[in-house]
């Protein structure tokens, strides 16, 4: 699974890293942890830390995602068809986390400021074992891939331009 928080990450790196290690160990999974701006540098038998990596390449290779629900990361995750656990912290992240949950694409988002190992483990267990998350996320992926979002926006902009 993938774990990354981008430019806005919860807590200090040592505490967050310890929680991630414990959750990975309890679930018996392997994880790719993106360092992000917080500089997470977690190593272990079943964990590798990476710096930058294209989400459109990495995400489809994962069984689950843990991310901050920023629009770019959420969009890449939805296009990949891989279910996610969201841990929003600021800006528009809580909105996108609530939206994903309301569409049945993810469990309720976790509070980044009060993140706990049991909450993270429970949510990850849900996306890994409950088929509805993968099914709904895959359906959303298919829908997103079938749309020409850029073309639709450009047509609307051109339509609204004065003659």
pTM equals 0.88
Cβ–Cβ < 8 Å for 115, 91: no
Backbone angles phi, psi at 49, to 5 degrees: -100, 140
Q: Which CATH number fits domain 2-160: 3.60.21.10, 3.40.50.2000, 2.60.120.10, 3.30.360.10?
A: 3.40.50.2000
Domain spans in the chain, listed from the N-terminal domain onward: 2-160
Residue by residue, pLDDT tens for the chain (163 residues) are: 999 987 766 667 888 888 999 999 999 999 999 887 677 778 778 999 898 899 999 999 999 999 999 999 999 999 999 999 999 988 899 999 999 999 999 999 999 889 999 999 999 999 999 999 999 999 999 999 898 888 999 999 998 887 6
Cβ–Cβ < 8 Å for 98, 74: no
């Amino acid at each position: 699974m993938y774990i990354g928080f981008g430019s806005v990450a919860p807590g200090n790196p040592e505490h967050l890293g310890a929680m991630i290690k414990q959750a990975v160990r309890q679930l018996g999974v392997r994880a790719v942890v993106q360092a992000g701006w917080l500089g997470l540098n977690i190593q272990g038998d079943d964990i590798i830390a990476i710096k930058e990596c294209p989400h459109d390449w990495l995400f489809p290779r994962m069984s689950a995602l843990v991310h901050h629900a920023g629009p770019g990361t959420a969009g890449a995750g939805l296009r990949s068809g891989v279910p996610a656990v969201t841990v929003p912290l600021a800006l528009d992240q809580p909105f996108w986390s609530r939206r994903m949950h309301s569409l049945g694409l993810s469990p309720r988002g976790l509070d980044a400021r009060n993140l706990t190992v049991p909450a993270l483990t429970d949510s990850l267990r849900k996306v890994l074992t409950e088929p509805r998350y993968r099914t709904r996320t895959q359906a959303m992926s298919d829908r997103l891939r079938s749309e020409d979002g850029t073309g639709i926006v450009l047509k609307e902009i051109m339509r609204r331009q004065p003659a």
